[in-house]
Amino acid sequence: MLKVNSLKRTFNQDTAGFQNINLSVKKGEIIGILGTSGCGKSTLLRVLSGLDHNYEGTISIENESNDQIGMMFQEPRLLPWLSVRKNISFGLEKEKRNSNKYKTYLDLVGLTDFENHYPKDLSGGMAQRTAIARALITEPEILLLDEPFSALDAFTKMQLQDLLLSIWQKKKTTMILVTHDIDEALYLCDRIFILKGQPGEVYSEITVEKEKPRTRGGGYLSKQKAHILHLLNVEKKAAGEHQ
Ligand SMILES: Nc1ncnc2c1ncn2[C@@H]1O[C@H](COP(=O)(O)OP(=O)(O)OP(=O)(O)O)[C@@H](O)[C@H]1O
Protein backbone atom coordinates (compact mmCIF):
# COMPACT_ATOMS: atom_id res chain seq x y z
CA MET A 1 0.00 0.00 0.00
CA LEU A 2 3.01 2.28 0.52
CA LYS A 3 6.20 1.88 -1.48
CA VAL A 4 9.29 3.97 -1.08
CA ASN A 5 12.24 3.67 -3.44
CA SER A 6 15.71 5.18 -3.08
CA LEU A 7 14.34 7.97 -0.94
CA LYS A 8 16.82 10.68 0.00
CA ARG A 9 16.52 13.99 1.81
CA THR A 10 19.65 15.79 2.86
CA PHE A 11 20.40 19.31 4.00
CA ASN A 12 23.41 21.55 3.46
CA GLN A 13 25.70 19.73 1.04
CA ASP A 14 24.74 16.18 1.89
CA THR A 15 24.83 16.56 5.62
CA ALA A 16 22.26 14.78 7.79
CA GLY A 17 18.75 13.81 6.73
CA PHE A 18 18.48 10.28 5.30
CA GLN A 19 19.34 8.38 2.12
CA ASN A 20 18.88 4.99 0.37
CA ILE A 21 15.53 4.35 2.04
CA ASN A 22 13.52 1.50 0.48
CA LEU A 23 10.34 0.43 2.24
CA SER A 24 7.32 -1.57 1.30
CA VAL A 25 4.45 -1.37 3.77
CA LYS A 26 1.42 -3.66 3.58
CA LYS A 27 -2.12 -2.62 4.48
CA GLY A 28 -2.75 -3.00 8.21
CA GLU A 29 0.92 -3.31 9.19
CA ILE A 30 2.47 -1.37 12.06
CA ILE A 31 5.98 -0.39 11.04
CA GLY A 32 8.54 0.92 13.50
CA ILE A 33 11.35 3.31 12.64
CA LEU A 34 13.95 3.11 15.35
CA GLY A 35 17.27 4.86 15.52
CA THR A 36 19.57 7.10 17.46
CA SER A 37 19.04 10.84 17.67
CA GLY A 38 19.65 12.77 14.46
CA CYS A 39 19.50 9.87 12.00
CA GLY A 40 16.61 11.45 10.09
CA LYS A 41 13.52 9.72 11.51
CA SER A 42 11.38 12.86 11.84
CA THR A 43 12.59 14.11 8.47
CA LEU A 44 11.48 10.80 6.92
CA LEU A 45 7.98 11.16 8.40
CA ARG A 46 7.73 14.76 7.21
CA VAL A 47 8.58 13.62 3.69
CA LEU A 48 6.12 10.70 3.83
CA SER A 49 3.38 12.99 5.14
CA GLY A 50 3.79 15.41 2.27
CA LEU A 51 4.93 18.27 4.53
CA ASP A 52 8.38 18.26 2.90
CA HIS A 53 8.60 17.92 -0.89
CA ASN A 54 12.35 18.39 -1.27
CA TYR A 55 13.31 14.76 -1.66
CA GLU A 56 14.81 12.48 -4.27
CA GLY A 57 13.40 9.01 -5.06
CA THR A 58 9.80 7.87 -5.22
CA ILE A 59 6.90 7.43 -2.82
CA SER A 60 3.81 5.64 -4.04
CA ILE A 61 0.68 5.30 -1.99
CA GLU A 62 -2.37 3.27 -2.97
CA ASN A 63 -5.41 5.55 -3.48
CA GLU A 64 -2.87 8.33 -3.68
CA SER A 65 -4.08 11.41 -1.87
CA ASN A 66 -2.67 13.27 1.09
CA ASP A 67 -5.92 13.16 3.06
CA GLN A 68 -5.28 9.44 3.28
CA ILE A 69 -2.46 10.25 5.69
CA GLY A 70 -2.88 11.21 9.33
CA MET A 71 -0.05 12.53 11.47
CA MET A 72 0.60 12.67 15.19
CA PHE A 73 3.48 14.36 16.95
CA GLN A 74 5.29 14.13 20.28
CA GLU A 75 3.27 17.08 21.57
CA PRO A 76 -0.52 17.12 21.03
CA ARG A 77 -0.61 20.47 19.14
CA LEU A 78 -4.20 21.21 20.23
CA LEU A 79 -5.80 24.58 19.68
CA PRO A 80 -6.13 26.08 23.21
CA TRP A 81 -9.24 28.09 22.40
CA LEU A 82 -11.22 25.05 21.22
CA SER A 83 -12.87 22.37 23.37
CA VAL A 84 -11.87 18.71 23.10
CA ARG A 85 -14.88 18.12 20.86
CA LYS A 86 -13.95 20.99 18.53
CA ASN A 87 -10.28 20.03 18.47
CA ILE A 88 -11.27 16.54 17.32
CA SER A 89 -13.71 17.86 14.70
CA PHE A 90 -10.99 20.25 13.51
CA GLY A 91 -9.42 17.25 11.75
CA LEU A 92 -12.40 17.27 9.37
CA GLU A 93 -13.01 19.51 6.39
CA LYS A 94 -14.76 22.75 7.39
CA GLU A 95 -18.21 21.80 6.09
CA LYS A 96 -18.16 18.49 8.00
CA ARG A 97 -17.11 19.92 11.38
CA ASN A 98 -20.65 20.24 12.73
CA SER A 99 -21.45 16.58 12.20
CA ASN A 100 -21.71 14.09 15.06
CA LYS A 101 -18.81 12.05 13.78
CA TYR A 102 -16.60 13.30 16.62
CA LYS A 103 -18.67 11.22 19.07
CA THR A 104 -17.38 7.93 17.67
CA TYR A 105 -13.79 9.10 18.02
CA LEU A 106 -14.32 10.66 21.44
CA ASP A 107 -15.61 7.29 22.56
CA LEU A 108 -12.77 5.43 20.81
CA VAL A 109 -10.17 7.30 22.88
CA GLY A 110 -12.21 7.17 26.12
CA LEU A 111 -12.94 10.90 26.45
CA THR A 112 -16.73 10.94 26.19
CA ASP A 113 -17.10 12.77 29.52
CA PHE A 114 -14.57 15.43 28.55
CA GLU A 115 -15.93 16.77 25.26
CA ASN A 116 -16.45 20.29 26.63
CA HIS A 117 -13.08 20.54 28.41
CA TYR A 118 -10.35 22.84 27.08
CA PRO A 119 -6.73 21.73 26.52
CA LYS A 120 -5.49 23.61 29.63
CA ASP A 121 -7.69 21.33 31.77
CA LEU A 122 -6.37 18.08 30.31
CA SER A 123 -3.56 15.82 31.53
CA GLY A 124 -0.78 15.03 29.05
CA GLY A 125 -2.33 11.63 28.36
CA MET A 126 -5.78 13.10 27.75
CA ALA A 127 -4.33 15.69 25.40
CA GLN A 128 -2.61 12.94 23.39
CA ARG A 129 -5.87 10.94 23.34
CA THR A 130 -7.52 14.02 21.83
CA ALA A 131 -4.72 14.24 19.25
CA ILE A 132 -5.20 10.55 18.36
CA ALA A 133 -8.93 11.13 17.81
CA ARG A 134 -8.23 14.23 15.68
CA ALA A 135 -5.76 12.26 13.54
CA LEU A 136 -8.19 9.35 13.07
CA ILE A 137 -11.45 11.21 12.44
CA THR A 138 -10.63 11.54 8.73
CA GLU A 139 -10.16 7.75 8.65
CA PRO A 140 -6.70 7.91 7.09
CA GLU A 141 -5.27 4.89 5.30
CA ILE A 142 -1.94 5.50 7.00
CA LEU A 143 -1.25 7.04 10.38
CA LEU A 144 2.24 8.48 10.85
CA LEU A 145 3.30 8.80 14.49
CA ASP A 146 6.40 10.79 15.46
CA GLU A 147 7.38 9.71 18.99
CA PRO A 148 3.76 10.17 20.11
CA PHE A 149 4.22 8.95 23.69
CA SER A 150 7.77 10.00 24.50
CA ALA A 151 6.74 13.02 26.61
CA LEU A 152 4.40 10.95 28.82
CA ASP A 153 5.12 9.24 32.13
CA ALA A 154 5.73 5.47 32.02
CA PHE A 155 2.22 4.40 33.08
CA THR A 156 0.34 6.79 30.80
CA LYS A 157 2.65 5.73 27.99
CA MET A 158 1.71 2.07 28.46
CA GLN A 159 -2.00 2.96 28.62
CA LEU A 160 -1.77 4.88 25.36
CA GLN A 161 0.22 2.11 23.67
CA ASP A 162 -2.63 -0.24 24.63
CA LEU A 163 -5.17 2.28 23.38
CA LEU A 164 -3.37 2.50 20.04
CA LEU A 165 -3.33 -1.28 19.83
CA SER A 166 -7.06 -1.54 20.57
CA ILE A 167 -7.73 1.06 17.85
CA TRP A 168 -5.58 -0.96 15.45
CA GLN A 169 -7.51 -4.11 16.34
CA LYS A 170 -10.80 -2.36 15.51
CA LYS A 171 -9.74 -0.37 12.44
CA LYS A 172 -6.60 -2.10 11.14
CA THR A 173 -5.13 1.29 10.25
CA THR A 174 -1.67 1.05 8.70
CA MET A 175 0.78 2.85 10.98
CA ILE A 176 4.36 4.05 10.81
CA LEU A 177 5.74 4.76 14.25
CA VAL A 178 8.96 6.66 14.86
CA THR A 179 10.32 5.95 18.30
CA HIS A 180 13.45 5.89 20.47
CA ASP A 181 11.86 3.30 22.68
CA ILE A 182 12.84 -0.28 21.81
CA ASP A 183 10.19 -1.78 24.14
CA GLU A 184 7.50 0.33 22.48
CA ALA A 185 8.58 -0.75 19.00
CA LEU A 186 8.65 -4.42 20.03
CA TYR A 187 5.27 -4.20 21.76
CA LEU A 188 3.46 -2.55 18.84
CA CYS A 189 5.22 -3.20 15.55
CA ASP A 190 5.11 -6.00 13.01
CA ARG A 191 8.41 -4.94 11.46
CA ILE A 192 11.06 -2.58 12.75
CA PHE A 193 13.53 -0.70 10.57
CA ILE A 194 16.69 0.33 12.35
CA LEU A 195 18.21 3.53 11.01
CA LYS A 196 21.82 4.42 11.59
CA GLY A 197 24.26 7.08 10.47
CA GLN A 198 24.04 10.69 9.36
CA PRO A 199 22.51 10.76 6.82
CA GLY A 200 20.51 7.83 8.22
CA GLU A 201 20.14 4.58 6.29
CA VAL A 202 18.32 1.34 7.02
CA TYR A 203 20.87 -0.78 8.82
CA SER A 204 18.61 -3.68 9.66
CA GLU A 205 15.01 -4.87 9.39
CA ILE A 206 13.49 -6.97 12.14
CA THR A 207 10.23 -8.92 11.88
CA VAL A 208 8.44 -9.34 15.19
CA GLU A 209 6.77 -12.73 14.75
CA LYS A 210 4.72 -12.69 17.95
CA GLU A 211 0.94 -12.13 17.62
CA LYS A 212 -0.46 -8.94 19.16
CA PRO A 213 -1.29 -8.24 21.95
CA ARG A 214 2.11 -9.27 23.30
CA THR A 215 3.39 -9.77 26.82
CA ARG A 216 5.57 -6.86 27.91
CA GLY A 217 8.99 -8.08 28.98
CA GLY A 218 8.20 -11.63 27.82
CA GLY A 219 11.04 -13.97 26.76
CA TYR A 220 10.66 -13.44 23.01
CA LEU A 221 10.57 -9.62 23.24
CA SER A 222 13.53 -9.62 25.67
CA LYS A 223 15.62 -11.62 23.22
CA GLN A 224 14.70 -9.28 20.38
CA LYS A 225 15.55 -6.28 22.56
CA ALA A 226 19.02 -7.67 23.28
CA HIS A 227 19.47 -8.18 19.53
CA ILE A 228 18.44 -4.58 18.74
CA LEU A 229 20.71 -3.16 21.46
CA HIS A 230 23.53 -5.15 19.90
CA LEU A 231 22.69 -3.78 16.42
CA LEU A 232 22.68 -0.23 17.77
CA ASN A 233 26.03 -0.85 19.49
CA VAL A 234 24.54 0.26 22.78
CA GLU A 235 25.97 -2.65 24.78
CA LYS A 236 29.48 -2.06 23.47
CA LYS A 237 29.36 1.64 24.34
CA ALA A 238 27.97 0.96 27.84
CA ALA A 239 30.66 -1.68 28.48
CA GLY A 240 33.35 0.67 27.13
CA GLU A 241 32.36 3.37 29.60
CA HIS A 242 33.19 1.07 32.52
CA GLN A 243 36.64 0.14 31.25
N1 LIG B 1 15.17 21.92 8.02
C2 LIG B 1 16.39 21.46 8.30
N3 LIG B 1 17.50 22.11 7.89
C4 LIG B 1 18.73 21.65 8.14
N5 LIG B 1 18.98 20.48 8.80
C6 LIG B 1 17.91 19.80 9.23
C7 LIG B 1 16.56 20.22 9.02
N8 LIG B 1 15.71 19.31 9.56
C9 LIG B 1 16.50 18.36 10.11
N10 LIG B 1 17.80 18.64 9.91
C11 LIG B 1 18.95 17.83 10.33
O12 LIG B 1 18.75 16.52 9.88
C13 LIG B 1 19.18 15.59 10.86
C14 LIG B 1 18.09 14.63 11.14
O15 LIG B 1 17.05 15.29 11.88
P16 LIG B 1 15.74 14.54 12.35
O17 LIG B 1 15.01 15.46 13.26
O18 LIG B 1 15.03 13.97 11.20
O19 LIG B 1 16.39 13.34 13.21
P20 LIG B 1 15.72 12.34 14.20
O21 LIG B 1 16.28 11.02 13.92
O22 LIG B 1 14.22 12.47 14.14
O23 LIG B 1 16.25 12.89 15.59
P24 LIG B 1 15.58 12.84 17.03
O25 LIG B 1 15.47 11.39 17.35
O26 LIG B 1 16.57 13.55 17.89
O27 LIG B 1 14.25 13.52 16.93
C28 LIG B 1 19.63 16.40 12.07
O29 LIG B 1 21.04 16.46 12.05
C30 LIG B 1 19.02 17.76 11.86
O31 LIG B 1 19.84 18.77 12.37
ipTM: 0.94
Report the separation in Å between the CA atom of 98 and the middle of ligand 1, taken as the mean of its atom positions.
38
Could you read off the pLDDT of 109-152 as tens digits, one per residue? 999 999 999 999 999 999 999 999 999 998 898 999 999 999 99
What is the structure's pLDDT at 183?
97
106 has pLDDT over 70: yes
Residue owning the nearest CA to atom 1 of ligand 1:
11
What is the structure's pLDDT at 208?
97
Q: Ligand 1 pocket: which residues have CB below 6 Å?
A: 11, 16-17, 35, 37-43, 180
Measured between alpha carbons, how far is 146 from 127 in angstroms, rounded to an integer? 15
Report the separation in Å between the CA atom of 199 and the middle of ligand 1, taken as the mean of its atom positions.
9
Could you read off the pLDDT of 41-76 as tens digits, one per residue? 999 999 999 999 999 999 998 765 556 889 999 999
- Per DSSP, helices labelled H in 80-175 are 84-89, 101-108, 124-136, 154-171
Report the separation in Å between the CA atom of 27 and the middle of ligand 1, taken as the mean of its atom positions.
28
What is the structure's pLDDT at 235?
58
Report the separation in Å between the CA atom of 37 and the middle of ligand 1, taken as the mean of its atom positions.
8
